[in-house]
Structure formats: structure tokens, C-alpha cells
Amino acid sequence: MQADTILETRNLTMRFGGLTAVKAFSAAIPRRSIVGLIGPNGAGKTTCFNMITGFYKPTEGQVLFNGGDITGTPPHHVCRRGIARTFQNIRLFSNETVLENVMIGSYLRQKTGWWQAVFSLPSSLREGRAVAAKSRELLKVVDLENLAAEKASSLPYGAQRRLEIARALATEPTFLLLDEPAAGMNPNETQDLMTFVRQIRDRFNLSILLIEHDMKVVMGICEHIWVLDYGEMIAEGPPEAIKSDPKVIKAYLGEEAVAHA
Amino acid sequence: MNAKIKAILNILAVAALGLFLWWAEGNLDGYMIQILNLIAVNIILALSLNLIYGFTGLFSLGQAGFMAIGAYVCSILILAPEQKEMLFILEPAYDWVQSAQAPFIVAVVAGGLAAALVGLLVGIPLLRLGDDYLGMATLGFAEIIRVLAMNAPRITNGALGFKGIPDHANLWWNFGWCLLTLYFVIRLVGSNSGNVFKAIRDDETAAKAMGIDVFRQKLLSFTIGAFFAGVGGALLGSLLATIDPKMFTFVLTFNVLMIVVTGGLGSITGSVLAGFAITILLEWLRFVENPVYIGDWELPGIPGMRMVVFSLALILIILFRREGFMGKREFSWAWAVGRFFKKAERHAS
């Protein structure tokens, strides 16, 4: 493993009964890069996310993070090590306020526990204020500070996506997985999102892996792309190479499109 | 509204409650005082279940089991050795049961701790279950505790139970514990740890992705809830002066569940208000169990009719106002003061 690789997967395979969802997925993701994972629906992209973040235990293969083996460790341990994620179908804590959602994200970095809070110990009060301040700061980053007291479920769609990212950032990750961050966004919002993803990479020293269907986003911000089709990696490389790869065009558009191209 | 004013208002509210209790002690009859006592105990029990079910989303029906543990442990500690000698007529008590003695406050805390310990131990296997299955398993747990109490005559005096338990649980103790529980739960639920409980209730998967050890947090909430259920059971035992295994059936859990659901799952204010309302109604509705005369035709009273009325009420609430009286809303001084001034303005203009 090279020194500048933050996450590496080796022959990552996931079988559900007779179905092979992902087959021998190997990728090395450079530190501080923005990279993409694409493929048609059902290609196994989210399954890859779930294996990396510990929600699925891979049938075969390994996940190495910062050189350490994290294969099959439970999700909360994975997060503690510095990998955060968002979900394809937004999963906010819908009854809680926008601010509380972000505060929940920073709980795992908190040093004082429940009983210090119950007895109002100074250390706990101090940390409570610090957590709230830090969370407000993150809300500023995603431009939601004015909605801090609103219920999360009352936000418009785009804002919910941004809140999910703020919540993930609150766990202080070094590696961020974004599952279709541009889904359901209009072209303007998508444009903002691309700038935003670059900004948070620079500001928080992140490496970012994203799943995305919007080719403009993928081609616009990813430095390297992996393409999955029916669980198998059919191509990898920089955006220009992927754009003109006949296998990729075939997977997305069918046999005929290749002939026309 | 700043913190100082809120603190002053809180102190005034507690002082007002104190004055009321002082007045009640001197002026109300025994029956009314008993109802007030039951209100305090029911609020403690409701807060305990609300923490587990309303805030953490764990559908637990084991309340009666924890109450039984609290009640038995506390009673054994406050019954005098001579009393115990008289009580255990089936089989003599074990020596350690016979000689165990503690002041009331220690006995109540011990009852709570025993319930919490059992909660922790049964929580480890049971909390791996989801939703309905957890409900069934905890229901089974409560029944097991009851059967154990029935079949351990050298500790619990079997089916006869205890009589003449010293009635230490007066208004001051009950409302003192009630306020303590209230303070504890408000502080806990309002902290970031409380946010974590609510996160687990809302979306367990997302909570895991946020680095939260979901199982551990569930266990924590369940154990704290069990502690207060044990405390409530201990106070109830001393209040009623008699306990036996028949007392700790599902009906007891059902009453608490009814208070929590009526008040609003996830609302502390709801549990307190419903604790008042339902305890009073449970007493007041006794008339439906008395015979009714229409002219000279007598409709005989049906024992248990109260519970039919309450079950119907619960069904109606679930059908038409599932979130309960309060939903997830809470009382706040800012809100109360705001309303007060609005009213005053309207009167002035």
C-alpha cells in the first residue's frame, strides 16, 4: 500500500445467497482526492459503500483504511476511525432540530457522558456549549445557520442533503462517502454542490468518494472514476478516459450506442 | 428569557408545590392524600417508561417486573425483623432476608438499583430484538419475575406477600422522588446524550453511521428506566402497605403505558399531565363499577368496568390523536409567560 493512499479495497466481494452483488472490487483512493463510483442502477455501488462503512460484512476481500484492516468492523467503529457517510435516501433524525442533528453527529467525539450532564457538572456544561458552537459553525459551512431551530423534516430537499453532509462532517472524518449527493437537485443547486464539495475537501482535509448519476458532477469534480456494472468493475481511470470508454458507454446506453459513437 | 429568571421561576414552582403539599397534609382527608400520593408514583413510573419507549423507541412492557423487584427489595429492607418473623408463616425466611435492615431512603435506592441491575442483565439479550419482539420478550420477563416471586417463599413469602409494610412513603417522600425523577429525566433528555436516544428512536441506521454504539445506548436508557421503575415500585409498596405477586400483573404495566401514550410519547410534560389526569380518573371512574338504579330496576355493577372504559379511551386516542395530548412538545417558561402577557394585553385593550 502506497503512503498516499487513504483507503484501499482488495478483492471486495459481496454475495447475497446466489446473487453476487459486488465481485472482486479493488480500488486505491489517494489522500485528499475526490473520486467517483458510477454505474447503472443495481450495479452494486451502494453495496460497496455498505461494505466500506461496516454495514455489510464482505463475503471476501479486505478494506484497508490508513493502512489498518477494518474489514467487518461494526459501523460505529468505522465512523470512530474517521469514515463518515451520507445516504442515498436521506436519513435525517426527522423529529429533531437542524442543530440537534449536527450535535448528534459530534457525540462520538464528546468526552463527558450522560451522568455528567444529569448532574450539571461544569465540565459537561462547558463541553455542551462547545459542541453547540461547533455545530453552529458547521451549519454556517452548509449555509443553514438561519434554520438551526427548525425541525429537520421541515427543510426543503436540497437543504436536507446539505444537513446530512454537515452531520457527517460533525463526526470529524478524514474520509467522506457521499451517496448520490446531487439526486433531486436542479442545475443551479448541482453547480453549487460541486463548488461546495471542493470547498469542504480543502477546508477539512478530506478525501471524498461519491456515488453519482449526474455525469456533469462526476466528470466535473472527480479526479478518478471507477465504473461498476452488474457488480463487476468494467473500467477505471480519469474522467476523460471514462467518457470515451466503449465498455462504459455500452453499460449505460446499450450496444447500439457504441456502434454510433 | 435568560437562565436566571427561569431558575427563579423553577424555584417558585417547587415552593408552590411544597406549600400545596403542606396545606394538603393538614386539610385533605386520607383518601385525597392517597390519590395525591398515587399521582406522584404514577408520574415517576410514566417518566421511566417514556424514557425507554417515548424517547429511545424501545417498546418495553416489562414495567411491572421492575416495579415488583423494587417493591420487594424495599419492603424486605424496611420491614422490622419481628414483623418478618410473623409474616413468613409458610416457610421461614432466609437469614439474610430476616436480618436485612435499612432506612427508608436507602431501601428505595436499593430497590431502584436492584431493578436497574436486572434491567441491565435482561437488556443484554433482549435489546438485540426489534420492536414487537422486544415488547413480547419484556412482557414475558415481567411474568417470569411474578412467577419467581410466587415461588420463592423464603424470600418473598410466596403468594401471601407482605402485609403491614411501614408506611414511610408520605406526600413528601413521593413528591420528592417525583421531582428528583423529573429533574433527572429533563437534564438527561435535554443533553446531547438525550439527543442520541432520540436519534436511535428516529433512525437506527443513521445513528450507527454517526458512530453511535446503538446497543450500548439502548442498554443505558433501558437500565436508567428500570431504576426509576424500581423506585416507583418501592414507593408504591410502602404506600399501599401490602404487596403480593398478584399485584404485579400486566394491568399495572398497562396503566403506565396508558399514561405515557395519552400524554404523548416523547413528552415529559405530557407524562406529568396525564399522570395527574389518569390517576384521578381511575379513582373517579369507580362509580361505573357500582350498581346503577334506573327507577327501581337495578343494573348490577361490573367489577373491572373501569378498565373497559380506559381501554376504549386508549383505542380512541390511538385512532384519533396518536401523538397524545402533547405530541413531542414540552412546557417552557417562555411559552407560559408569553401566553400570560398575551392574555393580559387582550384584557387591557
- State the pTM of this model: 0.92
For residue B202, the chain A residue with the least C-alpha distance is A93
Q: Which of B304, B327, B314 is nearest to B278 (CA)?
A: B314
Query: Do the chains contact at A104 and B210, CB–CB below 8 Å?
Result: yes
- CB contacts of B210 in chain A (<8 Å) are 76, 79, 84, 104-105, 107-108, 167-168, 170-171
HSE of B35, CA atoms in CB hemisphere, 13 A? 14
Q: Which of B6, B191, B205 to mutate to test the interface with A (most CBs of A within 10 A)?
A: B191
A103 in B contact zone (CB under 8 Å)? yes
Q: Is B339 helix (H, G, I), strand (E, B) or coil?
A: helix
- CB contacts of B211 in chain A (<8 Å) are 75-76, 79-80, 107-108, 171
- Evaluate whether A229 touches A43 at the Cβ level (below 8 Å): yes
- Evaluate whether B42 touches B255 at the Cβ level (below 8 Å): yes
CA triple B276-B278-B281, angle to 5 deg = 110
Cα radius of gyration rounded to whole Å, chain B: 21
CB neighbour burial string for B252-266, b if at least 16 within 10 angstroms, e if fewer: bbbbbbbbbbbbbbb
CA–CA distance, B80 with B85 (Å, rounded to integer): 9
Instruction: Kindly list the distances between the CA atom of residue B77 and the CA atoms of A227, B69, B100, B231, in Å, as whole numbers in the listed order.
Output: 70, 12, 5, 14
Tally of structural domains, chain B: 1
Cell 426527522 found at: A94
For B258-311, give the DSSP string: HHHHHH-TT-HHHHHHHHHHHHHHHHHGGGGGS-EEETTEEE---TTHHHHHHH
A82 in B contact zone (CB under 8 Å)? no
Segment A238-250 shows an average pLDDT of 90
Residue B315 confidence class, pLDDT cut points 50, 70, 90: confident
**How close A106 comes to chain B (CA, Å)?**
8
- Evaluate whether B204 touches B214 at the Cβ level (below 8 Å): yes
> E strands within chain A?
5-16, 19-30, 34-38, 60-65, 68-69, 83-85, 175-179, 207-211, 224-229, 232-237
Which grid coordinates belong to B209?
453511521
Q: Considering only B61-70, B136-145, B175-184, B325-334, which range has the smallest mean pLDDT?
A: B325-334
- CB contacts of B328 in chain A (<8 Å) are 95
CA–CA distance, A60 with A25 (Å, rounded to integer): 10
Query: Do the chains contact at B212 and A104, CB–CB below 8 Å?
Result: yes
Give me the residues paired with residue B292 across strands: B299
**How close B339 comes to chain A (CA, Å)?**
21
- CB-nearest to A79 from B201, B205, B209 is B209
Query: Do the chains contact at B192 and A113, CB–CB below 8 Å?
Result: no
CB-neighbour burial class of residue A255 (10 A; exposed 0-12, middle 13-18, buried 19+): exposed
Give me the residues paired with residue B297 across strands: B294
Segment B14-35 shows an average pLDDT of 93
Residue B347 has pLDDT above 90, yes or no: no
B16 in a structural domain: no
A32: left (phi over 0), alpha (psi -120 to 50) or beta: left
pLDDT at A259: 62
B68 in a structural domain: yes
- Evaluate whether A73 touches A247 at the Cβ level (below 8 Å): no
pLDDT at A260: 62
Residue A219 backbone phi and psi in degrees, to 5: -70, -30
B23 in a structural domain: no
Which grid coordinates belong to A24?
472482486
CATH number at residue B209: 1.10.3470
Q: Which stretches within B28-80 are classed as H helix?
A: 30-49, 63-78
B214 in A contact zone (CB under 8 Å)? yes
Write out pLDDT tens, residues A48-86. 999 999 999 999 999 999 989 999 899 999 999 999 999
Residue A256 confidence class, pLDDT cut points 50, 70, 90: low
Domain span at B198: 32-289+305-348
pLDDT at A1: 45
- CB contacts of B202 in chain A (<8 Å) are 92-96
Q: Which of A168, A199, A197 is nearest to A182 (CA)?
A: A197
CB pairs under 8 A between A and B: 101
Write out pLDDT tens, residues A83-134. 999 999 999 999 999 999 999 999 999 988 899 889 888 999 999 999 999 9
Q: Which of B6, B55, B184, B192 to mutate to test the interface with A (most CBs of A within 10 A)?
A: B192
B8 in a structural domain: no
Residue A3 confidence class, pLDDT cut points 50, 70, 90: low
A104 in B contact zone (CB under 8 Å)? yes
Segment B36-65 shows an average pLDDT of 96
pLDDT at A5: 92
Query: Do the chains contact at B193 and A104, CB–CB below 8 Å?
Result: no
Write out pLDDT tens, residues A131-146. 999 999 999 999 999 9
Average model confidence (pLDDT) for chain A? 92
One-letter amino acid at A149 equals A
- Domain spans of chain A, in order of start: 1-82+173-261, 96-170
How many helices (H) and strands (E) chain A has is answered by 11, 10
Which grid coordinates belong to B116?
436497574
Residue B54 has pLDDT above 80, yes or no: yes
% of chain A exceeding 90 in pLDDT: 78
- CB contacts of A79 in chain B (<8 Å) are 208-211
pLDDT at A261: 53
Query: Do the chains contact at B199 and A80, CB–CB below 8 Å?
Result: no
Write out pLDDT tens, residues B250-294. 989 999 999 999 999 999 999 999 999 999 988 888 777 777 777
- Evaluate whether B212 touches A107 at the Cβ level (below 8 Å): yes
Q: Which of A229, A231, A226, A228 is nearest to A20 (CA)?
A: A231
- Evaluate whether B46 touches B226 at the Cβ level (below 8 Å): no
Q: Provide the CATH topology of domain A1-82+173-261.
A: Rossmann fold (3.40.50)
CA–CA distance, B169 with B150 (Å, rounded to integer): 25
B237 in a structural domain: yes
% of chain A exceeding 70 in pLDDT: 96
- CB-nearest to A93 from B194, B202, B211 is B202
CB-neighbour burial class of residue A232 (10 A; exposed 0-12, middle 13-18, buried 19+): middle
- CB-nearest to A107 from B196, B206, B208 is B196
B153 in a structural domain: yes
Write out pLDDT tens, residues B89-110. 888 889 898 889 999 999 999 9
Query: Do the chains contact at A118 and B202, CB–CB below 8 Å?
Result: no
